[in-house]
Amino acid sequence: MAIELNVEVREDLGKGASRRLRHTDMVPAIIYGGDKEPTNIMLPHRVAVKQLENELFYTQVMTLKVGKASEKVVLRDIQRHPIKQQVMHMDFLRIDPKHKMHVHVPLHFINESTAPGVKAGGKINHIMIEIEVNCLPKDIPEFIEVDMGALEIDSSIHLSELKLPKGVESVILSHGADHDSAVAAIHAVRGAKADDEDEAAEGDAE
């Protein structure tokens, strides 16, 4: 589902202005990139918080309506208050539909409960929860699946084993095969092997 947000241009700039803006439950933000000058904007805090609950908001191209104009952007950065549940600032990057870009895409892990390694008592370790990909804006995937269904105990799935959509490539793997990092693994639960050995030893003694 396409994301569209109505935002307003802000003329009053600076730290003091941003502070006053937050007191009115608005979030200061900026649109930058491309061949245009940066545009300082603001949006309601409640709208920002609601959108941040949507996984797609972090990766997908969205439309910001600034008055009668529209900007195609992706979210580039969020600043949050270290203590309060408050969004302090947001950065949006203009996109060029003809140029590839780097984005972080979430990983969705499937078939974990049926993995042989889990059935054997192993524990799943999600080494990564997202990966950086390079692709055209139109090809940005909502997520990338990691099929754990065949994973044995003490084994792992690497980046090279992921099925990426057409036109999408892993940024890390583009640096060479020696960058083929593990994405997820199933390890034996610590102590379980020792318990099995103890039981075997007791059986031999009997």
Q: Structural domains in the chain?
A: 4-94 (2.40.240.10), 101-193 (2.170.120.20)
Mean residue pLDDT across the chain: 89
Tokens matching residue 51:
């959108």
Segments of the chain scoring below 50 in pLDDT? 193-194, 200-201, 205-206
pTM across the whole model: 0.79
pLDDT at 194: 47
pLDDT at 116: 94
pLDDT at 204: 52
Distance CA 168, CA 133 (A): 6
Helices and strands (DSSP H and E) totals, the chain? 4, 13
Task: Name which of 183, 139, 137, 179 is nearest 162 in CA terms.
Answer: 183
Give all strands of the β-sheet with 130-135 in edge-to-edge order.
Answer: 144-147, 101-110, 130-135, 169-170
Residue 182 in 3-state DSSP?
strand
Asked if 125 and 155 touch (Cβ cutoff 8 Å), the reply is no
